[in-house]
Chain A
Amino acid sequence: MAAQPASTVPTISPAEMQILISRAGLVLNPGQMADLVLAWRQVAGLIASIPQERKLADDMALTFRLPSPKAAITAARAATKAPAKEAPHAASKAVARKAPHAAPKPAAKPARKGKSAAAPAKAKTKRKAPARRSASRGR
């Protein structure tokens, strides 16, 4: 479908905006309200620019379906003439499973939890290292 000319951007009065905001359940201070008005003007313009004229029968589903990945993979292999190879991620998993963090250790406390909340500067973790994985090893 070719691009259709954008319809005009709808104007909105402060009173109408207040109704919309109330309808949305938002409580905004004047600064936040000003920010929302600024953003809404932009979004309303974008909405207005999207073509709306189309046959009703065109919309069989609001979804899209990509082609099967198999065709692309076959084409890529043919193009590169590379021999089919076992999934490398599967292979490396098999290799690595025996390696890091073989022995689960007790779960650690969150990394500098208290400090990050109180003093939100960059935190360097102090917790016991390998413990991180203990929670996820069982999968």
Chain B
Amino acid sequence: MTGAAAPSLSIAEASRLIAAKKLSPVELTRTILARIAAVDPQLNAFLLVTERQALADARAAERAIAAGRRGPMLGIPVAYKDIYETASVRTTAHSRILADNVPSEDAETVRRLHDAGAVMLGKLATHEFAIGGPAFDLPWPPARNPWDTRRFTGGSSSGSGAAVAAGLALGALGSDTGGSIRLPAAYCGIAGLKPTPGLVSRRGVIPLAPSLDTAGPMAWTAQDCAILLDALAGHDPLDPASVPGPAMSYASGLDAPLKGVRIGLLRRFYEHDVPGSPEILQMMTRAAATFRNLGCRVEEASLPSVQEYNAVGRVIISAEAYALHEATLKARLSDFSRVFRVRVLAGALIRAADYITAQRRRTDLIAETAHAFERFDVLIAPPTAGAAPLLTEQRPDDGFSRPMMTTVANVAAIPSLVVCGGFTATGLPLGLEIMGPAWGDAMVLRVGHQFEQAAGLRGRRPTL
């Protein structure tokens, strides 16, 4: 096989071809780099393309394969949200503040993927410090949605979503504090996993709100996210939030039958709390039917309101983000984007008592969410109320004024996967969110993978 079809390959497919010596990592990487050069000017997904590094990584992988080595990530081209520190490669957080920042070490997750033989293509657009975007007053423009370049990718892992959907990377890393992996996954029609806190190291990832931040994979399919998670997961003794535990494979067992799996439908979320569009409601009806056809038991589930989780999450994010950036905000306020200032400056006025009240309520919400998983193996909902909006419709205060269903999983400290759940009549993707109990990452990946297989939506790519 030549590399010509490479941009439409999943990680699993490319890995099989590479292992069978039917696809060369160098050829694959060259094809992807050529596609980045041709397509990315429309999308702005990349802040930096590390072309020479990518080819060197690919050649090294090719030598390793010739020497008989194997591995699911060997020779697979990936890219990193530009809050992941990369040794000797500029890491800006999409901000003027770090425009010349060149870390001396890789983030632990970058190191793990490198050790697994992945090829680094470059650094991807984000919202400024993973919160201030989309913004047009920064040195780099915001990423655009490959399905319709007038539209928003979702954020803050905006470049990660755009790059994977457009075939500019087979996988990417994102981060998720209130939905930043899953919103771009939904709007760009890919898969994205917010793992259980502590499963994936955050060392070397520029923080937004440390008590809610998680790092995780984004890829075309749930299976690809599982392959990436296999390389990423594991205890990091230098990350105080990392949890020691026995290692397991997330990619094996994805095809085990779902018969008898209990699925909770969070109907009130999308019919009342954040009313979904008619197409979202139809998608949820179809998703429930798909799961029933797979042998699952689908029943209605209930959690506290989306607004409650959001109030807690936004207060914590504002307070912690302001605390992290206070010194720089005071010294270089005008160098931040307006969106960042609107979303973070209010943290200066939050009282300690307010922050602690939010944390106290969070402990209640964690317990109440865990209680729901006594009846259900996973809970499903749409991550958004509709398809990707126009970039021009985004407002600086969106994070406060529009509650997000994705924030539920951050506040509740549970794993959550978004997969493509359908398409609108105009061809825009719609996401389906699958949440599991803490440490139920394998289950949400298994449910997501089998939904993708049954729904048959992975053959459709954006036309660019």
CB-based contact A80/B253 at 8 Å: yes
Residues of A within 8 A of B234 (CB): 87, 89-90
CB-based contact B413/A64 at 8 Å: yes
Residues of B within 8 A of A27 (CB): 330, 333
Interface residues of B in 109-153 (CB under 8 A from A): 111-112, 114-117, 120, 122, 138-140
CB distance from A60 to the nearest CB of B (A): 10
CB-based contact A132/B333 at 8 Å: no
CB distance from A131 to the nearest CB of B (A): 6
CB-based contact B368/A100 at 8 Å: no
CB distance from A139 to the nearest CB of B (A): 7
In the bound assembly, the distance between CA atoms of A28 and B44 in angstroms comes to: 32
CB-based contact B439/A96 at 8 Å: no
CB distance from A50 to the nearest CB of B (A): 5
Chain B, residues 253-286, CB within 8 Å of chain A (1/0): the string is 1001000000000000000000000000000000
CB distance from B276 to the nearest CB of A (A): 21
Q: Does B245 contact A (CB under 8 A)?
A: yes
Range for the number of chain B residues in contact with chain A: 35 or more
Task: Decide: A43 near B360, CB < 8 A? Known: A76-B253, A95-B74.
Answer: no
CB-based contact A62/B356 at 8 Å: yes
In the bound assembly, the distance between CA atoms of A118 and B49 in angstroms comes to: 18
CB distance from A115 to the nearest CB of B (A): 11
In the bound assembly, the distance between CA atoms of A67 and B307 in angstroms comes to: 26
Task: Decide: A122 near B305, CB < 8 A? Known: A64-B366, A91-B71, A110-B102.
Answer: no
Interface residues of A in 24-40 (CB under 8 A from B): 24-28, 32, 35-36, 38-40
CB-based contact B140/A107 at 8 Å: no
Among candidates B71, B245, B307, residue contacting A68 with C-beta atoms closer than 8 Å: B245
Task: Decide: A111 near B345, CB < 8 A? Known: A88-B231, A95-B69.
Answer: no
Task: Decide: A26 near B345, CB < 8 A? Known: A69-B245, A89-B116, A133-B87.
Answer: yes
Closest B residue by C-beta to A12: B349
Chain B, residues 387-426, CB within 8 Å of chain A (1/0): the string is 0000000001100110000000000010000000000000
Range for the number of chain A residues in contact with chain B: 35 or more
CB-based contact B438/A39 at 8 Å: no
Residues of A within 8 A of B364 (CB): 1, 54
CB-based contact B70/A95 at 8 Å: yes
In the bound assembly, the distance between CA atoms of A101 and B440 in angstroms comes to: 35
In the bound assembly, the distance between CA atoms of A107 and B443 in angstroms comes to: 43
CB-based contact B311/A49 at 8 Å: yes
CB-based contact B56/A38 at 8 Å: no
CB-based contact A64/B231 at 8 Å: no
CB-based contact A136/B315 at 8 Å: no
In the bound assembly, the distance between CA atoms of A72 and B357 in angstroms comes to: 31
Q: Does B185 contact A (CB under 8 A)?
A: no
CB-based contact A92/B71 at 8 Å: yes
Among candidates B53, B64, B122, B248, residue contacting A76 with C-beta atoms closer than 8 Å: B248
CB distance from A40 to the nearest CB of B (A): 5
CB-based contact A89/B230 at 8 Å: yes
CB-based contact A116/B100 at 8 Å: yes
Task: Decide: A85 near B44, CB < 8 A? Known: A38-B397, A111-B89, A127-B52.
Answer: no
In the bound assembly, the distance between CA atoms of A8 and B354 in angstroms comes to: 15
Residues of A within 8 A of B55 (CB): 129
Task: Decide: A92 near B249, CB < 8 A? Known: A64-B363, A99-B69, A133-B87.
Answer: no
CB distance from A8 to the nearest CB of B (A): 15
Q: Does B197 contact A (CB under 8 A)?
A: yes
CB-based contact B88/A127 at 8 Å: yes
Residues of B within 8 A of A117 (CB): 99-100
Among candidates B46, B396, B401, residue contacting A35 with C-beta atoms closer than 8 Å: B396
CB-based contact A92/B48 at 8 Å: no
9 closest Cβ contacts across the A-B interface?
Answer: A120-B139, A87-B247, A99-B64, A100-B60, A80-B253, A129-B52, A42-B400, A72-B439, A80-B256
> Could you write out 10 A-B pairs with CB less than 8 Å apart?
A28-B333, A32-B333, A43-B350, A64-B362, A66-B196, A73-B439, A100-B57, A101-B56, A117-B100, A121-B139
